[in-house]
Amino acid sequence: MKINQPEQLFANGLSPLYLVSGDEFLLVQEAGDLIRKYTVNNGICAREIFYIESGFNWENFLNSVNNTSLFGDRTLIELHLKNKITEAGSKILQNYAKNPVSDKTILIIANKLDSAQQKTAWFKAIDSNGVILQIWPIELAQLPFWITRRLKSVGLTADHQGVQLLADHVAGNLLAAIQEIEKLSLLYGSGNLTLEQISSAITDNSRFNIFNLLDAAVNNKTTSVHRILESLKNDNTEPTLILWTLTNELRSLIKVSFDIKKGLSMDQAITKNNIWYSRKAPVKKALGKYHLDQLQNFLKSALQVELIIKGADSQHLLWHELAKLYLNFADNKLSF
């Protein structure tokens, strides 16, 4: 069954088969998260992930779906398509779609499937026996409505002018829109946003912003770190926002690094942890630079700076400690 909206995913309860496809990474990622959350809420505790790349052995998938847990655990099995389905894979999916296993739910994640792929036997089998959600890009005319819903989800509202200002600013880039909404939430909490508040948050009077600062630190550009921090300080940028950018990145890096330590490849770990496409290159660079224990130590230091921001320590040290944290991260120093 083909559907057009994520809200329709569970119209008939939990399906044995889901296929989510599209080129809008953020929306595909969020649809997958909805399915994962729903399966957990319906008693599915285990999760297995397969990456369908060149040379993938479909027998591994068969072994997984036919494996019966000794404890009766139900399992979500994810197939992330990196290549087109082979003939052998197509037959296996067709057969499985017609005879799904009761304690397994299959989630297939794919990029946009062209018309030829949608005519294949395996696609038709899933259409007949499961749920297919094809993600389409948000049209510019629809973007203000989408932004309004996103603002509401974090407890914020804005009038037509404010929403349109945000829409014009991000120019259809949903990842940029999410970043701006997260920034607004951090700065203003909840409630109604004025046009002036939105304009102030998205306007960067400096040549630099907090994401430039993060990239400069990842790329060992200590001189740039100094210069960008000074610019942000002069522009009265909220220290909370500057710190959040680094701590958020550190938490993502720690999750990916932990999965690599457990045996996943870097690409597999990045996909598993839903790293946005725009952050993949910096994440890979950082993972080549820092070990898991180093990242954990940096995060501990960042939490100490957070205490200063919250007033648990002397405020006059705030910008000094922020600079020291970013510069140590850039230099890969663990002595604080």
Q: What are φ and ψ of residue 120, in 5° steps? A: -70, 160
- The pLDDT of residue 203 is 67
Mean pLDDT for 91-118 is 91
Question: Can you tell me the distance from the alpha carbon of 7 to that of 295, in angstroms, rounded to the nearest whole number?
Answer: 38
- Topology at the third CATH level for domain 2-134: Rossmann fold (3.40.50)
Q: Is the pLDDT of residue 105 over 70?
A: yes
Lowest model confidence (mean pLDDT) among 60-69, 107-116, 154-163, 245-254 = 60-69
Residue spans of the domains in the chain: they are 2-134, 143-202, 210-331
Distances (CA, A) of 161 to 11, 141, 157, 167, 198: 35, 14, 12, 10, 10
Question: Can you tell me the distance from the alpha carbon of 52 to that of 79, in angstroms, rounded to the nearest whole number?
Answer: 7
Mean pLDDT for 65-79 is 78
- The pLDDT of residue 336 is 40
Q: Is 265 helix (H, G, I), strand (E, B) or coil?
A: coil
Q: What phi-psi label fits residue 263: left (phi over 0), alpha (psi between -120 and 50 degrees) or beta?
A: left
Q: Is the pLDDT of residue 240 over 70?
A: yes
Can you state the angle between helices 174-188 and 239-261, rounded to 10 degrees?
Answer: 120
- The pLDDT of residue 70 is 56
DSSP one-letter code for 16: S
Q: Is 269 helix (H, G, I), strand (E, B) or coil?
A: helix
Reported CATH class of domain 143-202? mainly alpha
- The pLDDT of residue 74 is 85
Q: What is the pLDDT of residues 245-275, one digit of tens each?
A: 888 889 989 999 998 988 888 888 888 887 7
Question: Can you tell me the distance from the alpha carbon of 88 to that of 128, in angstroms, rounded to the nearest whole number?
Answer: 20
> 33 pLDDT band (50/70/90 cuts)?
very high
- Topology at the third CATH level for domain 210-331: Zinc Finger, Delta Prime; domain 3 (1.20.272)
Rounded mean pLDDT of the chain? Answer: 85
Can you state the angle between helices 239-261 and 318-331, rounded to 10 degrees?
Answer: 30
Q: Is the pLDDT of residue 10 over 80?
A: yes
What percent of the chain stands above pLDDT 70? Answer: 93
Q: What phi-psi label fits residue 117: left (phi over 0), alpha (psi between -120 and 50 degrees) or beta?
A: alpha
More confident residue, 23 or 151: 151
Q: What is the pLDDT of residues 172-215, one digit of tens each?
A: 888 888 888 988 998 888 899 998 888 878 765 444 577 788 88
Q: Is the pLDDT of residue 278 over 70?
A: no
Mean pLDDT for 112-134 is 92
Which is it for the CA torsion 260, 71, 58, 276, positive or negative?
negative
Q: Is the pLDDT of residue 121 over 60?
A: yes
User: Bridge partners of 133?
Assistant: 3, 20
* Strands laid side by side in the 17-21 sheet: 2-3, 131-134, 17-21, 104-110, 74-81, 44-52
Q: Is the pLDDT of residue 317 over 80?
A: no
Distances (CA, A) of 6 to 87, 126, 132, 304: 30, 17, 10, 40
Q: Is the pLDDT of residue 71 over 70?
A: no
> 314 pLDDT band (50/70/90 cuts)?
low
> 97 pLDDT band (50/70/90 cuts)?
very high
The distance of Cα 155 from the centroid of its chain, to the nearest Å, equals 20
